[in-house]
Structure 1
Amino acid sequence: MLIQILPELGLYAMMLALAMALVQAIVPLAGSLTRRPLWMSYAVPMAWGQALFLLTAFVCLALGFLFNDFSVTYIADNANSNLPWYYRLSAVWGGHEGSVLLWSMMMAFWGLAVSVFSRNLPRDMLARVLSVLGMINAGFLIFILATSSPFDRILPVPPSDGADLNPLLQDPGLIVHPPMLYMGYVGFSVAFAFALAALMGGRLDAAWTRWARPWTNLAWAFLSVGIALGSWWAYYELGWGGWWFWDPVENASLMPWLAGTALMHSLAVTEKRGGFKSWTVLLAIVTFSLSLLGTFLVRSGVLTSVHAFANDPSRGTFILILLGLTVGASLTLYAFRAPRVKSPLGFGWFSRDAMLLFNNILLLVMMVTVLLGTLYPLILDSLGLGRISVGPPYFNTLIVPLTVALGLFMGTGPVTRWKQMAPRELIKRLWLSAIVSLIVALTIPWLYDGAWSLPVSLGLLVAAWIVVPLVREPLTLIRRFGLRGPAKLSRSHYGMVLGHIGMAMTIVGVTMVSNYDHADNVRMRQGHSVEVGGYRFTMTQLNEVHGPNYLADRATVRVTQGDRLIAMLHPEKRFFDARRQAMTETALDHGLTRDLYVAMGEPLDDGESWAMRIQVKPFVRWLWLGALLMAAGGILAVCDKRYRHRSRTRQAMEARP
């Protein structure tokens, strides 16, 4: 009986969550403006209640999927009785309605986390922060209830079985990828809320950045992992062997990541030196606005992509209105408040302040480049001026040199001093790093391939330049204090080191796989061999296998190098009967320095042969290992002990008028 009424329970829980979000948005803010402690005290219990009821709604939907309640339209469209249980649970966010509910629930839990870990904030500041978060989630809950309810019924006669989950999403990577991506998107709302709360209170000092900085680092880490998982999924699931296609939806996640990276560095300057105050607030607004823009692109129907969720224009219009209200209101508040803020910060060209400023500028130029390349075709199409496609050549031509410049400043920044530094001293600190980086860049291409390559040397030069200067400070401390010296550096410093090393690893992976990739489209049948990239691939067997909800042709491919057996690979071509859709399941042999990649295409005319795509991809795994290191660096920085000294931050903020 309980299972039958779960959709109604979930719907009522969302309505109650909306009521609490509205109270959270209005009452605490009014209390902070009128200095009424009782009204401000509503913020925390409303945040808790909102999280509780949205969790209830999410659990109701998950149980409906688990027990195959096909009377619910969303479940009938995205599940099937033969679908394995773990994919039935991941199908909760496999379509538009469920993914927006997941987004809203995560927003509520970010607000819950703020209410728990920020209780030592001044009461009026906490009330304003939670009020802003309540406004955002109230908008999304209205959107869900008005256009995207996941609990709509099929009455009076529900289908006997469901249409099945999109085969592209029937993958372990897609169980984790969307939640991680949404955690990053939604997490930037906390920095946005802190920025607006600081603007409302006229407290654009270093104190608010101390509280916003760990939340920003955490959101950035989640988004980094989410983007990496999406790239990894595209690599092994789509069968083409690429890791980034500059798809508009991929760009939608990259833009807030670039702006968020700039925001993290700007927060550091504001906290440590009291500079970039207005700029930091603007970056917080821009970063979250780009997260909302990504939501609009994915769910509005303006894009055709394997990543896109919805094609209902009414939903896109609603999100566009929500985006316009959020951006318009925040920028209006910024326009009135920011000019009053002065940053009497002076610094020279050769200083850490200047290096971080240059990095900020480059990151924002990269973001604008991606934004223009993504939106320009959409704008032309909407105005009836024709359709154009902006693809990899545009992005690669502009982003690659900007990344090189960014890497040069990344290597220089950690060894410079705040405020000012003599050029001669900077050269003294960097000359050895420059020589080591140059040696690495010139020798590795010869050792790896027996020939010099300008693109490879340039990429390796940038990667080495980022990493080598990082060892200077620990070595200096070892010389002064012995082996205990590096322990004097903070977790935030080591988080920065991990993040920069991760970026260097990603650059190495991109450089090596882009220049040394071996790929061939071949015709293979049982007993036939081909050689690609120094490896011999032999199809030894071809048979038919039955999966839980698909039928597959599976090949067995023996990979050898000389007389040595390297791997036995099993690529598949799957056919999902419920969706009447075929999918490629690639086979991979992983390695730290190379991947062997085999994907089945289509059967050929003779009935015995198959089109196969075979690739040898050097150092491709460094792409994702680098992203994980970057995320680990962000999390390590959050663990810095100074973020736990809340009492001093509160005293500093309360001392302000």
Structure 2
Amino acid sequence: MIPEIGQFALTLALGFALVQSILPILGSARGNSLWMRSAYATSLAQVVFTMIAFAALMRSFVVSDFTVLNVVENSHSLKPLLFKIAGTWGSHEGSLLLWVLILTVFGAGVSVFGTNISAGLRARTLSVQAWISVGFFSFMLFTSNPFERVFPPPTDGQDLNPLLQDVGLAIHPPLLYIGYVGFSIVFSFAVAALIEGRVDAAWARWVRPWTLAAWMSLTAGIALGSWWAYYELGWGGWWFWDPVENVSFMPWLLGTALLHSAIVTEKRGAFKSWTILLAILTFSLSLLGTFIVRSGLLTSVHAFAVDPERGVYILWLLGISIGGSLTLYAWRAPALDAGGLFRPVSREAGLLLNNLLLATATGTVLFGTLYPLFVEAISGERLSVGPPFFNAAFIPMMLPLVFAMALGPFLSWKRADLAGVLQRLKFVAILSGLATLTIWYLTEGGPALAYLSIAIAIWMLLATLQEWAGRIRLGDVTFRESFRRARNLPRASHGMTLAHAGLAIAILGFVGSSAWKSEQIVFVTPGTEVAIAGFDVRFEGVERVVGPNYVANRGTLTVELDGEYVTTLNPERRSYPVSQYSTTESAIRSNMAGDLYASLAEAANAQAEARGAWTLRILYEPLVNFIWIGSAMLVLGGGLSLSDRRLRVGAPKRASRSIPAATPAE
């Protein structure tokens, strides 16, 4: 009965989405305020009924209702409660339900919190958002019903993929979806503005908090997924340029460009057309990621390998959404006012360079991701485009961007004195060079690109701190006065400083853990000793342990440094009897200098296991924790900016002036 209630609730939500997709936008065209206000009720109704459906599915997982096919395929009665709950979004159908729930929440958020948005723009925005909802509600109900029954029900389920039975993976998908779907409301704002024919500072002010919220969540989701891959998959890497990793990274890159472009539109009235295009493309890449993950084009631990016919449905949605919005953009964008003028050396020019480099980098990642799929579709030949290509093509574009990011906050609007800015940063340049030389002295060789990357990261970190110190006049006035100035600075200024510094620190982690990583893969028996990065690691043996829904071989490693005991590591090799799946559980000794990382592979054969012989992977990754620290600073910086009163209050209402929907932009 509960699953049927959930399915009926989804059907009602689709009905309200259909009404919202038509009535408010007609009302805005005819000046009918009652029709425009109907979006408030329909958006809230969508949220309520989608929540009912989601709660019904979660309840089916919690109580192990094996009359529901989705529960049978993705749960088991012995699975811990947390992972039963996470199983709600651990499948294609469940994750799609979470997607539409977040989609409706963002729409309702504009209804509830967008009271200072002009009635016409809000009505059009919510109608566009409902168009997206209609597409995904219909996709779910017609091809991916999460409440499909199975009779007779089996005695137990098939269990969730053991790799996904992890706290990190319980949180990672919702964060990613909030990021993906968060950009949908920015897309809706952009399409509504094109229909209305008006983009101004007020529009940019309304768009910024939604963009920032989506960007924050996507940042957190990508970082958490990278951390999970690092400690769970057993190979010691945090990024592999997997196609499904790439489809989350591309919206992040364009979302970062969009965030900065909207600032220029708000502050200077420039980049209007560019901001609209970025809003369309960012969400389009989110939809493209949905197609790649759910179409059956590829198989990955991240992907839902499903019936390709579902991919055809998503492909139609993709074509209508992207094709329709870009056609509208091509028609309306040329009439948009170009906005404020600026010199080649100015803050606007710096942000334009930022956007161009991020867009080019996104295109490079897109090419590397899709090219093998196109080749296989046309010729049947399987190609692999992996880290060598992406590292060689992507990193050289990012280094100038990071270098310029250090200069950007020092540049003034309209025109700036580049020589004066460089003069102010002379001491920062000297310190960056000395720090890089120190690292070169302490390390025993390494790629020249690694030292250049370290130098630019330190340059950006120190320049960011100097800019913040200059704002509060640290050292020029008393500490009490500097503290007062820091308290009075807008939170967005502190957020920018924290985010830019976080990126610099994350780059230190990227470079350190890649350029100076030590790794050994050895065949060990009890008593075997391995020396790595100054540590002496002794393999003591393996014992059998039993978990709630798995059995494991747990290794014991004693770690010493200069003859002194440091720690004991216990890597595991787990087997899940229900799913007939094995996972590697790494053991990590972490500190700020780096991680000592150990993972246990399968024994070569039964005889090797009987005498305690195993394959052991041991790595030392310098500065790897700087990646997580820097990522956390990026998210916190975004949160601090989002809490700025100027964004929470929003833009003042536009002067009342009706603009026909078909009138060209000013």
TM-score, length of structure 1 as denominator length: 0.96
**2:77 is matched with which residue?**
81
The one-letter code matched in structure 1 to 2:388 is P
| 1:208 and 2:203 correspond | yes
Aligned pair partner of 1:441 in 429, 436, 441: 436
Question: What corresponds to 1:191 in structure 2?
Answer: 186
Query: Does structure 1 residue 513 correspond to structure 2 residue 509?
Result: no
Write the letter of the residue equivalent to 1:642: R
1:50 aligns with 2:46: yes
Tell whether the 8 Å contact from 2:642 to 2:648 is kept in structure 1 after alignment.
no
Query: For residue 342 of structure 2, what is the aligned residue in structure 1?
Result: 347
Q: 1:633 aligns with which of 619, 629, 637?
A: 637
Deviations along 1:194-238, whole A, 9 cap, x unmatched?
A: 111111111111110100001101100000000011111111111
Match of 2:431, as an amino acid?
V
Q: Does 2:270 match 1:272? A: no
Give the CA deviation at 1:141. 0.4
Partner of residue 642 from structure 1, selected from 643, 646, 657: 646
Alignment of 1:415-430 (within 5 A): 415-430=410-425
Cα displacement (A) at 1:450: 5.5
Deviation at residue 422 of structure 1 after TM alignment: 2.5
- Deviation (angstroms), 1:488: 3.8
CA distance in 2, matches of 1:107, 1:135: 11
Deviations 1:165-193 (A, max 9, x none): 11111111110000000000000011111
- How far, CA to CA, are the matches of 1:64 and 1:278 in structure 2? 47
Work out whether 1:362 is the aligned partner of 2:327.
Answer: no
Which deviates the most, 254-263 or 534-543?
534-543
- Specify the alignment match of 2:547 in structure 1: 547
Deviations 1:9-44 (A, max 9, x none): 110010011111111111111111111011011101
Residues 1:470 and 2:460 aligned together: no
Find out whether 1:536 has 2:560 as its counterpart. Answer: no
Paired with 2:598 and 2:284, the residues of 1 have a C-alpha distance of 40
Q: Distance in 2 between matches of 1:19 and 1:656?
A: 30
Which of the residues 134, 142, 146 maps onto 2:142? Answer: 146
Q: Which residue of 2 aligns with 1:623?
A: 627
Does the CA contact (< 8 Å) of 2:299 and 2:305 recur in 1? no
How many angstroms does 1:656 deviate by?
Answer: 7.9
User: Which runs of 5 or more structure 2 residues have no equivalent in the other structure?
Assistant: 661-666
Q: Which residue of 2 aligns with 1:20?
A: 16
User: Among residues 285, 309, 317, which one is paired with 1:290 in the alignment?
Assistant: 285
Number of residues paired by the alignment? 650
Q: Where do residues 58-77 of structure 1 align in structure 2 (5 Å cutoff)?
A: 58-77=54-73
Does the alignment pair 1:337 with 2:332?
yes
> Hey, what does 1:93 align to over in structure 2?
89
SS in 2 for 1:616: strand
Q: Residue 374 of structure 1: which of 361, 369, 374 is its match?
A: 369
CA pair 514-96 structure 1, distance change in 2 beyond 3 A: same
User: How far apart, CA to CA, are the structure 2 residues paired with 1:347 and 1:429?
Assistant: 22
Answer yes or no: is the 8 Å Cα contact 2:465–2:501 preserved in 1: no
TM-fit CA distance, 1:385 = 5.4
Which residue matches 2:250?
255
1:339 and 1:454 map into 2 onto residues whose CA distance is 45
Match of residue 104 from structure 2 = 108
Task: Kindly provide the amino acid, as one letter, of the partner of residue 589 in structure 1.
Answer: R
Instruction: Single out whichever of 114-123 and 75-84 deviates more from structure 2.
Output: 114-123
CA contact (8 A) 1:380 1:387 kept: yes
1:603 counterpart = 2:603: yes
The CA deviation at 1:465 is: 1.8
**1:580-630: CA deviation from partner (whole Å, max 9, x where unpaired):** 111111111222221111111011343320001011111111112211211
- CA displacement at 1:472 relative to structure 2: 3.1
> Bigger shift: 196-205 or 394-403?
196-205
Aligned counterparts of 2:463 and 2:587: Cα–Cα separation in 1: 39
5 Å-filtered alignment, 1:453-464, equals 454-464=448-458
* Distance (whole Å) between structure 2 residues aligned to residue 455 and residue 443 of structure 1: 16
Q: Is the 8 A contact 2:268 2:339 kept in 1?
A: no
Given the alignment of the two structures, is residue 316 of structure 1 paired with residue 311 of structure 2, yes or no? yes
Distance in 2 between residues matched to 1:196 and 1:417, nearest whole Å: 31
Change (3 A) 1:534 1:18: same
Q: What is the CA-CA distance between 1:654 and the residue it aligns to? A: 5.3
Q: Which moved more, 1:474-483 or 1:392-401?
A: 474-483
Q: Deviation digits for residues 246-287 of structure 1, max 9, x if unmatched?
A: 100000000000000000010011000100000000000000
Q: Is contact 2:196–2:659 with CA below 8 Å preserved after alignment?
A: no
Give the counterpart letter for 1:651 in structure 2: R
Once residues 72 and 197 of structure 1 are traced to their aligned partners in structure 2, the CA distance between those partners, rounded to angstroms, is: 40
Matches within 5 A, 1:211-226: 211-226=206-221
Match runs of 1:556-571 below 5 Å: 556-571=556-571
Q: Unaligned regions of 5+ residues in structure 1, if any?
A: none
Quote the offset at 1:547 in angstroms. Answer: 0.8
Q: Is the 8 A contact 1:31 1:38 kept in 2?
A: yes
2:654 alignment counterpart: 651
Q: SS in structure 2 opposite 1:649?
A: coil
How far 1:348 moved relative to its partner? Answer: 1.5
Identity %: 46
Q: Which amino acid in structure 2 is aligned with residue 244 of structure 1?
A: W
For the residue of structure 2 that corresponds to 1:119, the secondary structure is coil
Q: Is the 8 A contact 1:207 1:652 kept in 2?
A: no
Q: Confirm whether residue 10 of structure 1 aligns to residue 3 of structure 2.
A: no
- SS where residue 301 of structure 1 aligns? coil
User: CA separation in 2, counterparts of 1:555 and 1:645?
Assistant: 56
Please give the alpha-carbon distance, in whole angstroms, between the structure 2 residues aligned to 1:653 and 1:265.
28
Quote the offset at 1:427 in angstroms: 2.6
1:135 pairs with one of 131, 135, 145 = 131
Q: Does the CA-based 8 Å contact 2:346-2:411 persist in structure 1?
A: yes
Q: What's the offset of the Cα at 1:521?
A: 0.4
- Distance of 2:65 and 2:199 partners within structure 1: 51
- Which amino acid in 2 is paired with 1:499? A
2:586 paired residue number:
586
Indicate the residue corresponding to 1:490 in structure 2.
Answer: 490
Report how far residue 652 of structure 1 moved. Answer: 4.8
| 2:664 alignment partner in structure 1 | none
TM-score by length of 2: 0.95
Question: Would you say the 8 A contact 1:414–1:469 is kept in 2?
Answer: no
- Deviation readout 1:290-327 (Å, 9 max, x if unpaired): 00000001000001211111321111001111011001
What is the distance in 2 between the residues matched to 1:344 and 1:153?
Answer: 57
